[in-house]
Amino acid sequence: MRILNAAQMREADRHTIEDIGIPSLVLMENAGRQVVAAIEAAYEGRLDGRVAVLCGRGNNGGDGFVVARTLVQRGIDTGVFVIGSVADVRGDARLNLDILGRLGVTVVEIGDEQTWELHFSEISQCTLIVDAIFGTGLKAALGGMLETVVADVNASGIPIVSIDLPSGMSADTPHLIGDCVDASMTVTLAAPKLPLVLPPGETQAGDVVIADIGIPSEVIDGLEGPHIELLTPEQVRDLVEPRAPDSHKGDFGRVTIVAGSLGKTGAAHLAAMGALRSGAGLVTVATPSSCLPIIASMAPELMTAPLPESREGSVTPAGIEAVLELRHDVIACGPGLGRDPGVGAFVRALLERSSSPVVLDADAITVLADDPAGLVGREDRDVIITPHSGEMARLIGASVDEVQVNRIDVAGEFATTHRVYVVLKGHRTIIATPEGHIFINPTGNAGMATGGTGDVLTGMIAAWLAQLLDAEAACRLAVFLHGAAGDLAEAEEGQVAMTATDLVAQLGAALNHLTGRDKDSSG
């Protein structure tokens, strides 16, 4: 599902109205009615009281006038307030404002703070507030009376439903440009916008409902400009195909995982279990010799291969031949490797010599931080990196804060300049492709902020890459399922007690839920 900025939303409207021929008045009517439907679904119990609809002078206000009319026609006590001069309301918004007048609905004009203070006592007695003041066109912070309006409605304790965006937000950035409405629910029109799906903006949006107002999907898909998508179950479900009855393990890929060092064998085990639970036919853990018995004892399904090791118990460059000689479709490297100088030389040799796709995580990324120039993809071999913000910061020579406030641009720029796939982990994991596409994952929770969950994801990506033979698809599916399994683990264990092992145990359930097999078995 594509995420649009303000310019793209304007173009989608224009193309739909001028080229497709759907009148703007129809789009406004659809928007208002969809908002009412969302309100009825979420706040039916509050419609017994009075609803205040706060409207601006533009098209967002016009949507609000449609909401007000629809509520009134359904017998709901509704107060309508124009924040600004009624004389400034133009176009389709004016048409809908005039309709309210002809229906006998009183519209209160609020042109200054004194008038607002006079009427806010009335608004504060309502059971629901609809925010239709500003939509996606806002570019500067609110000031004057508007700041007072926002502060008062936020402090009222009354649930607020915002149309398209909470007033005060910019559609072009997830960062707050000033004070904005703290919505309980946002009904966004046609497509999601960045501040509704990324922090810190998402914390002000409440529950987000995406309303179909009649803009064709072909229009949205064909828009120029940044290509950012929100991952959805529908988008990734079709990547999982049923297995043929005569399948054998060779049909589902061979994954080699280079991982582990003295004291860090658990990371290798978790990555391997992520691969096994994601359907890889054969999984081999290549690990320092002293680590092999420990890892082999953890799961009988795993194959293992011993590698030469340093005195510290880490891999050395001498082990590269043994890894390359193993039969595999994908190599994952990094979990628990440690940061000895020999590890860096090993990883660089792997990137230079491997003809198979490579997934790099954790220490395999960190040891390249001094010379990231060698971290590049080739036309004949994909490279996927899965850093968290700290590892990404080390890789680009920035601070963690600099990465966190600009995650999309950081991931996107590194992906395109180095021709690699970047899976920037964290709340709302970002996937960036060498072609410049960005995907944002909505699944997962804070309980996954515990050691080992990233190792599981590394194995999952490698397993799905071995099966799908498509790096972008493998990243999308693995990241979505990883978060979905975390959400199931949270339901069982809670966020505080959740472990990476709990997440692994839910991978099968997450996959069944995605494909609908859980419903088939229950019926």
Q: For the segment 488-518, what is each residue's pLDDT rounded down to a tens digit?
A: 999 999 999 999 999 999 999 999 999 998 7
Confidence of residue 330 (pLDDT cuts 50, 70, 90): very high
CATH number at residue 200: 3.40.50.10260
Q: For the segment 276-302, what is each residue's pLDDT rounded down to a tens digit?
A: 999 999 999 999 999 999 999 999 999
pLDDT at 522 over 60: no
The amino acid present at 206, given as its one-letter code, is: G
pLDDT at 137: 85
Question: Do 363 and 219 share a structural domain?
Answer: no
pLDDT at 521 over 80: no
Confidence of residue 41 (pLDDT cuts 50, 70, 90): very high
Question: How would DSSP label each residue in 463-511?
Answer: HHHHHH--HHHHHHHHHHHHHHHHHHHHHHHHHHH--HHHHHHTHHHHH
Q: Enter the tokens of residue 29.
A: 């009517």
What is the arithmetic mean of pLDDT over 376-394?
95
In a domain, 459, yes or no: yes
Question: Do 401 and 286 share a structural domain?
Answer: yes
H helix or E strand, kind and range, residue 3:
strand 2-3
Final residue belonging to a domain, choices 189, 212, 227: 227
Look-up: residue for tokens 């395999």? 364
Question: Do 262 and 140 share a structural domain?
Answer: no
pLDDT at 518: 74
Query: Is the Cβ–Cβ distance between 357 and 381 less than 8 Å?
Result: yes
Q: For the segment 256-271, what is each residue's pLDDT rounded down to a tens digit?
A: 999 999 999 999 999 9
CB atoms within 10 A of CB 8: 23
Look-up: residue for tokens 């982990």? 425
pLDDT at 523: 46
Spatial neighbors of 277 by CB under 8 A, at least 6 apart, are 460, 504, 507, 508
Distance of alpha carbon 421 from alpha carbon 392, whole angstroms: 13
Please state at what angle helix 471-497 crosses helix 507-515, rounded to 10 degrees.
120
Question: Do 283 and 195 share a structural domain?
Answer: no
> Domain containing 489: what range?
253-507
pLDDT at 420 over 80: yes
In a domain, 47, yes or no: yes
Mapped onto helix, strand or coil, the DSSP state of residue 228 is: strand
In a domain, 514, yes or no: no
**Dihedral angle over CA of 236, 170, 94, 30, nearest 10:** 10
Question: Do 309 and 219 share a structural domain?
Answer: no
Question: Do 9 and 158 share a structural domain?
Answer: yes
Mapped onto helix, strand or coil, the DSSP state of residue 210 is: strand
Which has the closest alpha carbon to 359: 392, 329, 319? 329
In a domain, 523, yes or no: no
In a domain, 239, yes or no: no
Distance of alpha carbon 25 from alpha carbon 10, whole angstroms: 15
The amino acid present at 345, given as its one-letter code, is: A
Report in angstroms the alpha-carbon separations of 439 from 96, 223, 231: 38, 16, 6
pLDDT at 373: 87
Q: What is the domain count for the chain?
A: 2
Question: Do 314 and 221 share a structural domain?
Answer: no
pTM of this prediction? 0.94
Query: Is the Cβ–Cβ distance between 55 and 132 less than 8 Å?
Result: yes
In a domain, 163, yes or no: yes
pLDDT at 337: 97
Query: What is the number of helices (H) and of strands (E) in the chain?
Result: 23, 18
What is the arithmetic mean of pLDDT over 75-89?
97
In a domain, 399, yes or no: yes
Mapped onto helix, strand or coil, the DSSP state of residue 163 is: strand
CB atoms within 10 A of CB 406: 15
Question: Do 320 and 437 share a structural domain?
Answer: yes
Phi, psi dihedrals of residue 398, rounded to the nearest 5°: -125, 175
Q: Enter the tokens of residue 89.
A: 């309301």
Q: Report CA 248 to chain centroid distance, whole Å.
A: 35
In a domain, 35, yes or no: yes
Distance of alpha carbon 342 from alpha carbon 347, whole angstroms: 9
Distance of alpha carbon 287 from alpha carbon 202, whole angstroms: 42
Question: Do 118 and 47 share a structural domain?
Answer: yes
391 exposed, middle or buried (CB, 10 Å; 0-12, 13-18, 19+)? buried
Spatial neighbors of 121 by CB under 8 A, at least 6 apart, are none
Question: Do 76 and 202 share a structural domain?
Answer: yes
Look-up: residue for tokens 């996107």? 412
Question: Do 271 and 195 share a structural domain?
Answer: no
Question: Do 266 and 220 share a structural domain?
Answer: no
Which has the closest alpha carbon to 278: 96, 482, 109? 482
pLDDT at 421: 98
What is the arithmetic mean of pLDDT over 412-430?
97
Average pLDDT, the chain: 96
Q: What count of Cα atoms within 13 Å lies in the side-chain half-sphere of residue 135? A: 25
CATH number at residue 446: 3.40.1190.20
Q: How far apart are the first and last CA of the chain?
A: 30
H helix or E strand, kind and range, residue 131:
strand 128-132
pLDDT at 520: 61
